[in-house]
Structure 1
Amino acid sequence: MKYWCCKSTTGGATDTIKCIKCNHQYHLQCILPARNKRDTSPDFKKSWVCPECLLSRPKQPCADKDNTPVRASVSNLREDDNINFRRGGTSTSNSQYFHEEPIGQTSLLEQVRSIISTEITCLKDELRSSLAPLKNELKALKDEFSSMRESINFINVKFDDLCTRINKCESDLKTVSRQCSEFSDVTKKIELMEAANNDREQWSRRSNIEIYGVPQKKNENLYTILNNISDKVGYNLNRSTEIDFITRVASKSQENKKPKPIVVKFLCRWKKDDFLAQVKKLKLKCSDIGFSSNDNFIYFNDHLTSKNKVLLQSVKKIAKEKGYRYVWVKNCCIMVRRNDTSPVLHIINVNDLKKIQ
């Protein structure tokens, strides 16, 4: 509670009194130091008016309209003035009454301003002390945001670079896809051209016979060897009218130690087929045509192209795995058969290998 006589806010051990006009609280010790506690009866407290209210109350005119002057203001009186402000009072009590000067309104406002200023100063100090860690935290957040901004800028640069690379990859992928499509078309065309070329090459060899297993000698006469073979099988062969040429062909493998095969080209294909059918009936050996002490067999086949020879080896391998008994070549065509009663399969290219099941 606030008291209008001093700066104290508590009653303490002293008694208090309240003005019936302004309702302000005062300490008896401050406002009436010479009055005993027993003199402050309840009736006195109920009718007590503070000095400020007494001074502000105007003088009541007397009935006889005398010329008694209005009491002066308390602020204009000196402490040693012997003036009684209460009816029935004495000069002594009045002197004691003014021994403690009452607090005016200006002094009260100054006290209020001082208290408010003190409180504001305390609040400022508390606010500064509370804002100090917050300022550090804000600085840390600012540094973190700055680092995040740098990271985001770095990510944006990398993202733009990645987008550029992706766009370039997509463009390159389209180009590669188009080239792959073109390459696929070119590959198909090449395969068709190779197949056509192989067919033409095989067609040109339809009148040829390839002979394997004949030993090779220096300064040998291949026509003599062919005549010995025809004589052995009893086939009349005219060199000048039926044979175009005869020669040995080199093997593609340099490590092949076997004798080079002999290729005979007939002028007439049916003559070639007739001769080939005759020699395959007999199993001739090298000793039968003048090579003594050499019992190796001699093999007669159609003259296949390199591609068809590879295909023939693949057919033989798969036929052996699948249990096929017969693999042969007739009129430059590869044929395979599982047994004597099964149908004959014609193998022309690699795709026909799927027929062998």
Structure 2
Amino acid sequence: MPGGRWICAGCRDGGNPSASSPTVTHISPMSCPAPVLPRTDSGVDAVIADAGTARLMSALRSELGAMRSEIRELKESVSFCSDKISDFEEKLAKLSEVFRLANHLKAENDCLKKEVSSLQYRMDSLEQNARENNVEIVNIPEKQNENLIEIVKKVGEFAGMIIESSSLSSVVRVPTRVENRPKNIIAKFISKSKRDEFLSTIKNKRSTNSGRNGFSLDGLSNKFYVNEHLTTKNKSIFRSARITAREKNYKYVWTQNGNILMRMNETSKIIHIQNESDLAKFK
């Protein structure tokens, strides 16, 4: 009421049991304490939210820590792989250099093989040429105190040629690789022409008397052969040529001046056999 005393509802109803007393105290409206509001659910939600945020932050920190660890390990792995790649590239470069050197050495080796083959052929030719005055008489039994010059003369007489002692430079026996066979007789004439004359008479005797399988001479041998004096290598090639001729039905195989020749028949071309690889072409 006008001019009366005013008390706020809070002071009037709470805090003082004698609020219903008629005694009224003048209180300034500005000095009334703020009312205490009751707790509501929004405060609890805030606390819960703070706790959830803390757990989320902790989880994020843990995940970030794990990611940092994985990234660190990945960096180490990448660095390790990079080192390995660098090492591999270095080894690959060295391997490429080895291959280059190997190819270079192979080329040099092939060149050297050709040179060696050429030198070997020249040596074989020189060795064969050194025997151009010689003939080889095979399978004449050995006798004590035998006269080899007289044996050669008898063979010449058998073939149809008179051989003078003066036509011979030397006559010796040489070992053979064939077991249980007498040493071969090597007769060296003073000239190639004399040697060729003797071989020509032997060839004629062979064709007229079928001496392809050897000659027989009483008091000397039941089966002997007269050939050019070939080198060991040419003898091996000549032997292989005869085997190939039988297998491939070649009618003629012979030697002439150290050369090994083959011919299928009288009208076919003559084939010069220089090495074993030439015979491989017939297979």
Alpha-carbon spacing, 1:235–1:119, altered in 2? closer, same or farther (3 Å)? same
Q: Which residue among 261, 265, 276 is the counterpart of 1:339?
A: 265
Q: Which residue among 59, 68, 85 is the counterpart of 2:2?
A: 68
Q: Which residue of 2 aligns with 1:249?
A: 174
**CA–CA distance in structure 2, aligned partners of residues 70 and 217 of structure 1:** 180
Alpha-carbon spacing, 1:232–1:320, altered in 2? closer, same or farther (3 Å)? closer
Q: Which residue among 172, 175, 189 is the counterpart of 1:266?
A: 189
Cα offsets for 1:147-175 (capped at 9, x unmatched)? 65555454444433332222221111111
**CA–CA distance in structure 1, aligned partners of residues 179 and 91 of structure 2:** 54
State the one-letter code of the partner of 1:279.
I
**CA–CA distance in structure 2, aligned partners of residues 278 and 355 of structure 1:** 34
User: Does structure 1 retain, via aligned residues, the 8 Å contact 2:136–2:187?
Assistant: yes
Structure 2 stretches lacking a partner, 5+ long:
23-32
**CA–CA distance in structure 2, aligned partners of residues 238 and 315 of structure 1:** 35
Q: Which residue of 2 aligns with 1:115?
A: 42
What displacement does 1:189 show? 0.9
SS of the aligned residue for 1:236 comes to coil
Q: Which residue of 2 aligns with 1:86?
A: none
What displacement does 1:286 show? 5.7
Structure 1 stretches lacking a partner, 5+ long:
1-66, 84-90, 92-103
Alpha-carbon spacing, 1:154–1:258, altered in 2? closer, same or farther (3 Å)? farther
User: Does structure 2 retain, via aligned residues, the 8 Å contact 1:215–1:286?
Assistant: no
TM-score if structure 1 supplies the norm length? 0.61
Tell which has more relative contact order, 1 or 2 (C-alpha 8 A, sep 6+): 2
SS of the aligned residue for 2:42 comes to helix
Cα offsets for 1:162-194 (capped at 9, x unmatched)? 322222211111111111111111111111111
Q: Which residue among 102, 108, 126 is the counterpart of 1:182?
A: 108
What displacement does 1:124 show? 3.9
SS of the aligned residue for 2:132 comes to coil
**CA–CA distance in structure 2, aligned partners of residues 219 and 134 of structure 1:** 118
Q: Which residue among 195, 198, 201 is the counterpart of 1:275?
A: 198
User: Does structure 1 retain, via aligned residues, the 8 Å contact 2:153–2:164?
Assistant: no
**CA–CA distance in structure 2, aligned partners of residues 133 and 313 of structure 1:** 95
State the one-letter code of the partner of 2:179.
N
What displacement does 1:273 show? 1.1
Computing the radius of gyration from Cα coordinates, the structure with the larger value is 1
Q: How many correspondences in the alignment? A: 262
Percent identity, aligned pairs only, is 28
Q: Which residue of 2 aligns with 1:237?
A: 163
Alpha-carbon spacing, 1:192–1:145, altered in 2? closer, same or farther (3 Å)? same
Q: Which residue of 2 aligns with 1:192?
A: 118
SS of the aligned residue for 2:126 comes to helix
User: Does structure 2 retain, via aligned residues, the 8 Å contact 1:248–1:262?
Assistant: yes
TM-score if structure 2 supplies the norm length? 0.75
Q: Which residue of 2 aligns with 1:125?
A: 51
**CA–CA distance in structure 1, aligned partners of residues 63 and 243 of structure 2:** 82
Alpha-carbon spacing, 1:128–1:212, altered in 2? closer, same or farther (3 Å)? farther
Q: Which residue of 1 aligns with 2:147?
A: 221
What displacement does 1:298 show? 0.8
Question: Aligned Cα RMSD in Å?
Answer: 3.6
Where is the helix percentage greater, Structure 1 or Structure 2? 2
**CA–CA distance in structure 2, aligned partners of residues 219 and 144 of structure 1:** 103
State the one-letter code of the partner of 2:189.
F
Cα offsets for 1:210-237 (capped at 9, x unmatched)? 1111122344332121122223334211
Alpha-carbon spacing, 1:287–1:174, altered in 2? closer, same or farther (3 Å)? same
Cα offsets for 1:88-125 (capped at 9, x unmatched)? xxx9xxxxxxxxxxxx97645x857x834x32331243
**CA–CA distance in structure 1, aligned partners of residues 180 and 81 of structure 2:** 69
Q: Which residue of 2 aligns with 1:40?
A: none
Alpha-carbon spacing, 1:147–1:329, altered in 2? closer, same or farther (3 Å)? same
User: Does structure 1 retain, via aligned residues, the 8 Å contact 2:10–2:35?
Assistant: no
**CA–CA distance in structure 1, aligned partners of residues 117 and 152 of structure 2:** 38
**CA–CA distance in structure 2, aligned partners of residues 75 and 257 of structure 1:** 153
